[in-house]
A = this chain, B = another copy of it.
Amino acid sequence: MVRQERALRTREALIESAATVFDRDGFSVASLAAISSLAGVSNGALHFHFSNKAGVADAVEQAASERLERLVAAHGEAVGSALQMLVDTSHRLARRLGEDVVLRAGFELSRDHVRQGGRDLYRQWHAWVEEALKRAEGEGALNGIAPEQVASSVVAATTGFEVLGARDPKWLSRRTVTRFWQLLLPQLATPPVLGSLVAAGGPPGDHARRTPGGSPAARAGEEDD
């Protein structure tokens, strides 16, 4: 049991190290030696868990996919509005991409066209965004616009934040994401719903760390700068 726990912990350390090395060097350049060295384990220990670099990448992508799943599920049923849930989740995704190297490397691996990956985090995110917008439509919150139409623009913008944010963190800031929602929400939401939406993200309890620009007062349609 103790041995199993240790093995599990080594595997997790290797996934974290691999994500760091993939994020820094890219999949093609990353070496297994660099990954095991960063995790503080031998090459033999790495090969006990993974047969090759593709196997390590699959494990990183799988771990990232599970984190994305938890991230989108975190909102739960606490907030009534699916549109607010979508806004809040996009903020949470942007923040986590800046903090969580496994999540970030997972997206990077999903768009590495040399690799034939198993999971596809963009597809997973797109499916969730579309689902959230369909829920908003069911709530009568959408202003006569088809969920699929909105989903492609939301996924494109968040993909842009992710890609550009890998080189400059300001693309993942609350301000950047808020600006996007301030532009989009007035066209998206029915007038009664719009008044209750917070482009900068939901109630404080849901966001442990809030920037000054993300106060609940920064509502859709207003500028916070």
Contact = CB atoms under 8 A, between A and B. Distances in A.
A33 interface: no
A136 to B, nearest CB: 14
Contacts of A25: 114
Nearest to A220: B187
Binding site of A, secondary structure by majority: helix, strand, loop or mixed?
helix
A53 interface: no
A163 B120 CA distance: 14
Contacts of A113: 24, 26, 166-167
A128 interface: no
A184 B221 CA distance: 12
Given A26-B114, A149-B183, 10 more contacts: A28-B29, A111-B163, A111-B166, A146-B225, A153-B157, A153-B184, A156-B161, A156-B176, A157-B160, A158-B160
Interface of A: 24-26, 28-29, 111-114, 122, 145-146, 149-150, 152-153, 155-161, 163-164, 166-167, 171, 176, 179-180, 182-184, 186-188, 221, 223, 225
6 closest A-B pairs by beta carbon, nearest first, are: A156-B160, A159-B160, A28-B28, A160-B160, A153-B180, A156-B157
